[in-house]
Amino acid sequence: MDGKRKTKKKLPEEEIALLKIFGADLAAERRAQDKTQMDIAIPMNSHPQYISQVENEGMEPGLIKFLYLAAALEKNPEDLLKNTWPAFLKYYKKMQKKG
């Protein structure tokens, strides 16, 4: 290893917006169930700060963490994408036209 730190590539603004839609939906579902960030962090062996970052800062959870989030909320994973998926499809179609 050469001692250089890997830097993450900055996501396009549209993708950050998608992650924020997901985060807002996640927070809304958590609150609807009267659960705290700690309540869903513990079963996934995580920290409430991580949940906050996903909900509020557009952090991308990755597939396994996404599945943990769904399980912690006792939801079908697709239920957590109710607003993100349509927004993603719109973005995807736009990107395909740019081609």
pLDDT tens digits along 27-83: 999 999 999 999 999 999 999 999 999 999 999 999 999 999 999 999 999 999 999
pLDDT tens digits along 90-99: 999 999 998 7
Q: Please give the Cα distance from 27 to 33 (Å, whole number).
A: 10
Give the model's confidence band at 3: pLDDT under 50 very low, under 70 low, under 90 confident, else very high: low
pLDDT score recorded for residue 7:
56
CA-based radius of gyration for the chain: 15
* Sole residue written with tokens 């950050």: 16
Class of domain 33-98: mainly alpha
Q: What is the pTM of this model?
A: 0.86
Distance of CA 46 to the CA centre of its chain: 14
Amino acid at 85: W
pLDDT tens digits along 14-37: 999 999 999 999 999 999 999 999
